[in-house]
Amino acid sequence: MAVHYVTKEGLERMKKELEQMVKVDRKFITQQIAEARDKGDLSENAEYDAAKEAQGMLEMKISILQDKILNARIIDQSNIGTDVVSIMNIVSLKNLKNNTTVTYTIVPESEANIKLGKISNKTPIAKALLGKKVNDEVQISVPNGTLEFRIDKISK
């Protein structure tokens, strides 16, 4: 698996999520399987089949999360400048069509949360902004057309 860039907080969140899955969710599903098994014939037991499927899904999620944690590299925010847009920057943009201003923080994919203004570095908007400077104008193709922005401010 490829390197997975995260913030220190993001790595801690992933570790807590993994601990929840391993210590709590896994035991719960094991209990469900045992209860379904106690109900008799497994060949016609929908509860047993559902519990086994849930177990498989959980084990897959655990495996994926373990790989992400194993391959995680913490982003050193002290080395991030504000001369050009990069991951972990806060970017203020002016929409050139309607003169509104929006502010986004560009974060690793696993930490994106649009409600908090945190967009993944893999989104079309972030990709168009990365490497640009204050006062640069960017055109961003999105499903409903093209957006035109000017970068007003880059900060940490």
Q: Do 105 and 83 share a structural domain?
A: yes
CA distances from 46 to 33, 37, 42, 73, 149 (A): 11, 11, 8, 42, 54
Report pLDDT for 141: 85
What residue numbers bound the domain in which 36 lies? 4-74
CATH of the domain at 122: 3.10.50.30
Q: Do 53 and 104 share a structural domain?
A: no
The pLDDT tens digits for 100-124 are 999 999 999 889 999 999 999 999 9
Mean pLDDT of the chain: 90
Nearest to 19 by CA among 65, 72, 70: 65
Report pLDDT for 39: 77
pTM: 0.69
Q: Do 96 and 34 share a structural domain?
A: no
For residue 3, is pLDDT > 90? no
For residue 33, is pLDDT > 80? yes
Length in residues, the chain: 156
The pLDDT tens digits for 87-102 are 999 999 999 999 999 9
Q: Do 106 and 68 share a structural domain?
A: no
Instruction: Classify residue 149 as exposed, middle or buried by CB count within 10 Å of its CB (0-12, 13-18, 19+).
Output: buried
CATH of the domain at 37: 1.10.287.180
> Which of 110-113's residues contact partners 24+ apart within 8 Å by CB, and which partners?
110/4, 110/6, 110/10, 110/14, 110/68, 111/6, 111/7, 111/9, 111/10
Report pLDDT for 48: 85
Q: In what order do the strands lie in the sheet with 101-107?
A: 118-120, 101-107, 90-95, 145-155, 137-142
94, β-bridge pairs: 101, 150
